[in-house]
Structure 1
């Protein structure tokens, strides 16, 4: 199966890029939106995701790789919700802000723009490539 790309949002004070780098691997859990949870369920080991700082910063700061998929969310006592584990791959050369993304016509249909409240979104390969270009990677 081909690698897929995603975007994971987190508030930097609650769980920022620096937390993941320090830990080396983190569990992406606590997602309680059905569409976002379905995206977590669709992830496979080896998929990559942009790590996005929400609220403060509002920017893509790094890339992570899915290291474990199809997990039950450990924060859910009922076992209904999904989780994955991710490892940091690299920090972007330049962060890409939400403002920059919204200003780029090539990214107008990106889930980050269209579904701004979605905490786990899919990124199409052409969007992935464009953001890497914007980041200088």
Structure 2
């Protein structure tokens, strides 16, 4: 999951203890949150649009997909008049922090040929929610100083 550190940094998630991942307005990302993300799944928390972009920590899904209530609020930046309570168009999940990592920089991920199929490093890939294989997840954990599966 990507977040801009000036909008919602990893440190804020750690302080909050839990948050809902709202405002996703891309159908492919929405479908992943709705169909693929399950309670207990680990998430790489990635800081984008910063120098250098990097994975900052590991979070866990603590509530599976449910309607994104920001879509119903006309005062919200994420308001969508076509999304209704009876027919919600957008979904969010809740996540909680698990463990901080030493920053794993995008440049280091790009340099490692074992990541060449990872969506994060493909040109034009801008989704805020992206799949990560179990193998790539463990490799990034190791690069971030974690030598075992997160708790």
TM-score normalised per structure 1: 0.90
Separation of aligned partners in 2, 1:40 and 1:113 = 20
Match of 1:105 in 2: 113
Runs of at least 5 residues in structure 2 that lack an aligned partner in the other structure: 73-82, 147-151
Q: Which secondary structure does the structure 2 equivalent of 1:117 belong to?
A: coil
Matched, 1:45 2:39: yes
Matched residue count: 129
Deviation at 1:31, TM superposition (A): 0.5
Deviation at 1:133, TM superposition (A): 1.6
Task: Choose the corresponding residue for 1:28, options 8, 14, 21.
Answer: 21
Separation of aligned partners in 2, 1:36 and 1:103 = 26
| Moved >3 Å (runs of 4+) | none
> Structure 1 or 2: larger strand share?
1
5 Å-filtered alignment, 1:67-78, equals 67-77=62-72, 78=83
Runs of at least 5 residues in structure 1 that lack an aligned partner in the other structure: 1-7
Higher Cα Rg, which structure: 2
Matched, 1:82 2:76: no
Cα shift readout 1:5-31 (whole Å, capped 9, x = no counterpart): xxx000001111111111110000100
TM-score normalised per structure 2: 0.82
Match of 1:125 in 2: 134
Match of 1:63 in 2: 58
Q: Which secondary structure does the structure 1 equivalent of 2:108 belong to?
A: helix
